[in-house]
C-alpha cells in the first residue's frame, strides 16, 4: 500500500502529508522570491542614494539610465560579449582539462607531485594583472593571451580539488577493489574518478566565474573588442551608464555560466544528497 493510500485511510497521516506538502511549497517559493526581493531592494537603495545625494550621471548613473543604455546599446554590448564568451569558455576547457590530467599524474606519481606542486603554487601567486602583459608579449595581441589567462585562473582550484578528490577514497572500498584484482585503470574510473566528481564540480563552479574575470582582465591589455575593452573605453569617456551596463552584461554571462555548471552537476552527480541551504 502506498503512502497516498495510507493517507486516505488515516486522517492523522493525511494531515501530516498535507502539512509536509505545504511546507515544501513555502520553502520552494521562499527560495524563488527572496533572491528577487534582495535584488529589488539593492536596486531601490541604489536609486535612492543617487536621488538623495544628487549624484551626477558621469559619476554614477541611476538604475533607469543604466536600463535605458542596456536597451539602446544592446547590439554593441552583445557584439563585445561574444569574444569574451569565447575566450572564457575556451580558457575554462583548457585550464580544467589540464588540471584534471595533471592531478591524475600527481596521484599516481607522488614524486611528480612533490617536485612540481610548489611550482604550480608559485605561478598561482603571481597576480593576474602581472601575468597579462607577459602573456601578451609571448602570444601576441589576439585571443590567445586572453584564453591563456582564463585557463591559468581556472587551473589551480581545479587541480587542488581534483587531487583531493582522487586521493580521499574510502580505504575499505580501495581494499575491496584490490581483493577483486581490479587493475589501476578500473580503480581509477570506477572508484577514484567517481569519488572525485563532487570535488571537481565544486572547482568547476568557481572556475565558471573566474574564467570570465580572467578573459576580461586579459582584454584590458591592448584589446579593442570584448567586455574588458568596452569597460576601459567607457571609463576613459566618463560614460558611467555604459560602464555599468557593460559590467552587468559580463556579470549576467558569468551567472549563466555558473548556473549551467550547476545544472550539469545535478545530472552527473546524482548520488549526492540535496542541499537545502
pLDDT computed for residue 182 by the predictor = 81
pLDDT computed for residue 276 by the predictor = 44
Express each pLDDT in 97-135 by its tens digit: 999 999 999 998 989 989 999 999 998 888 888 888 888
The answer, yes or no, to whether residue 160 has pLDDT greater than 90, is yes
The answer, yes or no, to whether residue 28 has pLDDT greater than 70, is yes
Q: Name the average pLDDT for the chain.
A: 88
The angle, 0 to 180 degrees and rounded to 10, between the axes of the packed helices 74-108 and 193-219 is 140
The average pLDDT across 41-56 equals 91
pLDDT computed for residue 18 by the predictor = 78
Using pLDDT thresholds of 50, 70 and 90, give the confidence band for residue 10: low
pTM, two decimal places:
0.85
Nine-digit cell string for 191: 572508484
What residue spans of 54-192 are helical by DSSP H?
A: 63-72, 74-108, 110-125, 128-139, 144-167, 171-179, 184-187
DSSP SS3 for 140 = coil
pLDDT computed for residue 243 by the predictor = 95
pLDDT computed for residue 170 by the predictor = 83
93, 204 contact by CB (below 8 A):
no
User: Which is more confidently placed, 79 or 1?
Assistant: 79
Express each pLDDT in 211-255 by its tens digit: 999 999 999 887 888 999 999 999 999 999 999 999 999 999 999
The answer, yes or no, to whether residue 6 has pLDDT greater than 50, is no
Express each pLDDT in 162-180 by its tens digit: 999 999 888 888 888 888 8
pLDDT computed for residue 204 by the predictor = 95
CA torsion, ordered 26, 32, 37, 39, to nearest 10 deg? 160
Nearest to 221 by CA among 99, 102, 114, 130: 130
Q: How far is CA 73 from the centre of its chain?
A: 26
Amino acid at each position: 500500500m502506498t503512502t497516498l493510500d495510507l493517507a486516505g485511510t488515516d486522517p492523522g497521516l493525511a494531515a501530516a502529508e498535507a502539512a509536509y506538502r505545504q511546507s515544501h511549497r513555502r520553502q520552494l517559493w521562499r527560495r524563488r522570491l527572496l533572491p528577487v526581493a534582495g535584488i529589488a531592494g539593492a536596486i531601490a537603495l541604489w536609486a535612492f542614494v543617487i536621488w538623495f545625494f544628487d549624484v551626477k550621471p558621469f559619476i554614477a548613473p541611476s538604475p533607469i539610465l543604466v536600463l535605458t543604455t542596456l536597451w539602446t546599446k544592446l547590439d554593441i554590448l552583445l557584439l563585445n560579449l561574444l569574444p569574451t564568451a569565447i575566450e572564457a569558455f575556451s580558457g575554462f576547457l583548457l585550464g580544467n582539462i589540464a588540471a584534471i590530467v595533471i592531478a591524475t599524474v600527481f596521484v599516481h606519481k607522488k614524486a611528480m607531485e612533490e617536485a612540481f606542486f610548489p611550482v604550480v603554487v608559485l605561478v598561482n601567486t603571481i597576480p593576474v594583472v602581472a601575468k597579462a602583459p607577459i602573456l601578451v608579449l609571448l602570444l601576441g595581441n589576439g585571443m590567445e593571451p586572453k584564453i591563456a589567462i582564463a585557463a591559468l585562473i581556472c587551473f589551480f582550484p581545479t587541480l587542488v580539488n581534483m587531487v583531493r578528490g582522487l586521493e580521499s577514497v574510502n580505504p575499505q572500498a580501495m581494499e575491496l577493489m584490490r581483493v577483486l584484482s581490479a587493475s589501476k585503470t578500473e580503480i581509477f574510473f570506477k572508484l577514484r574518478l567517481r569519488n572525485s566528481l563532487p570535488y571537481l564540480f565544486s572547482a568547476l563552479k568557481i572556475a565558471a566565474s573566474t574564467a570570465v574575470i580572467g578573459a576580461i582582465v586579459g582584454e584590458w591589455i591592448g584589446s579593442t573588442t570584448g567586455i574588458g575593452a568596452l569597460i576601459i573605453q567607457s571609463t576613459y569617456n566618463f560614460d558611467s551608464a555604459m560602464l555599468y551596463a557593460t559590467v552587468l552584461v559580463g556579470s549576467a554571462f558569468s551567472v549563466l555560466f555558473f548556473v549551467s555548471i550547476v545544472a550539469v552537476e545535478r545530472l552527473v552527480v546524482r548520488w549526492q544528497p540535496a542541499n537545502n541551504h
